[in-house]
């Protein structure tokens, strides 16, 4: 284990071979069960990783901010349902924003919400990356994510729902996040992201396009529902088959879109 106290000295430590420790809810499982795969744990204690910065035009969440901390902030109320959907209370006190970005299927419910928000991922050293390209390349990436940032969603424009077999805590069959810019009941711009419907959270781009310009009612969303899973790659796992995920996704998307905000 190496403790790195400031971001200034982090770059070389990370690039060598270390595994960055967030809350440890996934990494410590590896340590407990496959210790040979974790040769070096990097603990970064720089306080900026825990910062939440709320500005009019942009919200920045440090990579070390926990799900519990997100859920507790009044200004982040739109994100609270996605933060609260992760694990149980103890997990949420530990699980970080940064760790969720790297969490493999079926995890990544909060990352799905960030994807619908078009978040930017900030790397130590100053590089920034769109979350979509981050997710596509995350398995090959090495480095420290310091924060994510996004434009605050319009009031009532952000919706999230997680589908699981056990309540209140259960792993995702899927999670869906939608970030809609509405003018009256007309959808001007739509971002729809699914969690647990592919190797990483993925955007439902065909559905987004089909929704734009339409009204948010049964007739208006019909086309989006028929293409809801285009471009997704729902996996088979112990909880649901790919077939089942593909069939029920439009039903859950419809409930999310027609939910009154």
Partner 1 sequence: MAQTPVRFTLNGRETGLFVEEAANLLDVLRRGAGDISPKYGCGQGTCGACTVLIDGAPHLGCLTLAATVEGREVRTTGGMADGPGLTALQTAFMEGFAAQCGFCTPGMLMAAKALLDRNPQPTRDEVIEAISGNLCRCTGYEPIVDAILAASGQRGAA
Ligand X SMILES: Cc1cc2nc3c(=O)[nH]c(=O)nc-3n(C[C@H](O)[C@H](O)[C@H](O)COP(=O)(O)OP(=O)(O)OC[C@H]3O[C@@H](n4cnc5c(N)ncnc54)[C@H](O)[C@@H]3O)c2cc1C
- 106: cis peptide before it, omega within 30°? yes
Asked if residue 108 binds ligand X (CB under 6 A), the reply is yes
Asked if residue 100 binds ligand X (CB under 6 A), the reply is yes
Binding mask 22-61 for ligand X (x = CB under 6 A): xxxxxx----------------------------------
Nearest to 15 by CA among 137, 131, 125: 125
CA angle 140, 93, 174 (to 5 degrees): 55
Quote the tokens at residue 113.
Answer: 């919400």
Minimum distance of partner 1 from residue 117's CB (angstroms): 25
Asked if residue 144 binds ligand X (CB under 6 A), the reply is yes
Nearest to 117 by CA among 210, 203, 224, 216: 203
223: exposed, middle or buried (Cβ count in 10 Å: 0-12, 13-18, 19+): middle
Name the site residues for partner 1 (rule: CB under 8 A): 1, 3, 21, 23-25, 28-29, 31-33, 35, 38, 41, 43, 68, 87-91, 93-94, 168-169
Minimum distance of partner 1 from residue 94's CB (angstroms): 6
Minimum distance of ligand X from residue 138's CB (angstroms): 9
- H or E stretch at 151: none
Q: Considering only residues 167-186, where is the footprint of ligand X by CB under 6 A?
A: 171
119 makes contact, choosing from ligand X, partner 1, none, with CB < 5 to 8 Å by partner type, with none
Among 60, 96, 200, 229, binds ligand X (CB under 6 A): 96
Residues that bind ligand X (CB under 6 A): 19-27, 63, 86-87, 91, 94-96, 98-100, 102-103, 107-110, 144-145, 171
């Amino acid at each position: 284990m190496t403790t790195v106290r400031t971001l200034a000295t982090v770059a070389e430590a990370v690039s060598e071979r270390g595994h960055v420790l967030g809350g440890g809810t996934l990494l410590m499982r590896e340590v407990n069960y496959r210790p040979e795969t974790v040769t070096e744990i990097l603990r970064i204690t720089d306080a900026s990783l825990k910062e939440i910065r709320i500005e009019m035009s942009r919200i920045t969440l440090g990579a070390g901010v926990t799900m519990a901390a997100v859920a507790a902030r009044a200004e982040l109320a739109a994100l609270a349902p996605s933060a609260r959907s992760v694990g149980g209370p103890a997990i949420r006190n530990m699980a970080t924003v940064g760790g969720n970005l790297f969490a493999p299927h079926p995890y990544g419910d909060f990352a799905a919400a960030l994807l619908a928000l078009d978040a930017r991922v900030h790397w130590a050293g100053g590089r920034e990356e769109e979350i979509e390209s981050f997710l596509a390349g995350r398995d090959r990436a090495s480095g420290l994510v310091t924060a994510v940032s996004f434009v605050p969603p319009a009031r009532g424009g952000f919706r999230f729902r997680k589908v699981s077999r056990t309540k209140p805590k259960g792993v995702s069959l899927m999670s869906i996040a939608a970030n809609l810019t509405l003018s009256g009941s007309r959808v001007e711009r739509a971002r729809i992201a699914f969690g647990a419907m592919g190797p990483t959270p993925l955007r439902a781009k065909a559905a987004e396009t089909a929704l734009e310009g339409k009204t948010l009612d049964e007739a208006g969303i019909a086309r989006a529902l028929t293409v809801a899973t285009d471009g997704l790659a729902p996996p088979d796992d112990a909880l649901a088959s790919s077939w089942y995920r593909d069939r029920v996704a439009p039903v859950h998307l419809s409930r999310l879109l027609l939910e009154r905000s």
